[in-house]
Amino acid sequence: MNKQEQAGSALIISLVFLLILTMIGVASIQDSTLQERMAGNERDRNLAFQAAEAALRVGEDHLRQAGIVFSNAGTNGLLGADYDGIRPMADSYPWDARSQGITDSYAGVRSAPRYTLEWLTTRAYTPNDDVEVSVINSYRVTARAVGGTTDTVVLLQSTVSR
């Protein structure tokens, strides 16, 4: 073969390899970016979950206090048995007006977690023929917390009978 018959195949092959390496590099960068975003979202959700769990425990402790006054208007997040407004699990529930906030500060969350207490039912319980009748009240505690971004919201509920 002489110089006049060469078609420049080395240049074409090296450009194809360069294109393949560029595609692999771009795909790995996109994958790394996606994984970092997923890790950040998981961190935000974990922060919100922990803050909501803390608010849930504070709400359960609040139920152990004497003299709680429930309201059918839902004042201070104490929803009476005849409350017929928007429930705390609804997206449109007015958390700022009808809930109680936690005074402790939590690092990384946008706002202080909040909770509500709902008086669900009162039942008379007679396990046998004793004269004394036990009264059991059931309550629902709903806690809401926002994570590192306002899009990360966690709602937790527990039911307490006493």
Helix (H/G/I), strand (E/B), else coil: 30: helix
* pTM, to two decimals: 0.77
63-121 per-position pLDDT tens digit: 988 889 999 998 899 999 889 889 999 999 999 989 999 988 888 898 999 999 999 98
In a domain, 107, yes or no: yes
In a domain, 3, yes or no: no
User: Would you state the structure tokens that stand for residue 159, as one six-digit string?
Assistant: 């039911």
Q: Could you tell me the residue range of the domain that residue 147 belongs to?
A: 8-161
| pLDDT at residue 103 in the model | 84
CA 131 to chain centre: 46
Mean pLDDT, residues 136-149: 93
* Count: domains in the chain: 1
- Residue 21 exposure: Cα atoms within 13 Å on the Cβ side: 6
The three-point CA angle 69-74-79 to 5° equals 65
| pLDDT at residue 130 in the model | 63
In a domain, 2, yes or no: no
